[in-house]
Amino acid sequence: MNIKTSDLKTVLSTHSDIQLVDVRTPEEYAEGKINNAINIDVTSDNFEERVSNSLKKDSPVYLYCRSGGRSVIASKILINKGFEVYNLEGGYINWESKAN
C-alpha cells in the first residue's frame, strides 16, 4: 500500500516507535535520511535475513528509497514474509521536496 508524504509525516508525529526503513544503499543513506529510519539495503545479499532479524511482524513497516522503485521491490518481499507494508510515494526525493 502506498502512503503520501503528508500521511507519513502525520504517522511520524503521532507515533514515536514506527518501523521506518530506508532501503537505499548505505552511501545514499549517509547523504540524507528521514529521522529515525534504519537502513536495510534492498540490493544487498542479506536483505531478507536482515529484515527478519530487525523488524517485528506485529507492527507496520514504512519503506522508502530514492524515488519509489526499490521500495516497491522491498514491499513485495516483506508482504510475502507476512509484514504490513506502507511504501512512501515518490521516495526520499518527494519527501525532501515537501520538507518545508
**Measured between alpha carbons, how far is 100 from 96 in angstroms, rounded to an integer?**
8
Catalytic positions are 65
- What average pLDDT does range 82-87 have in this prediction? 96
Does residue 27 carry a pLDDT above 60?
yes
Does residue 17 carry a pLDDT above 90?
no
Does residue 74 carry a pLDDT above 90?
yes
State the sign of the Cα–Cα–Cα–Cα dihedral 25, 30, 34, 38: positive
**Measured between alpha carbons, how far is 63 from 71 in angstroms, rounded to an integer?**
6
Does residue 45 carry a pLDDT above 60?
yes
- At residue 16, the pLDDT reads 79
Statement: the pTM of the whole predicted model exceeds 0.85: yes
- What average pLDDT does range 16-20 have in this prediction? 90
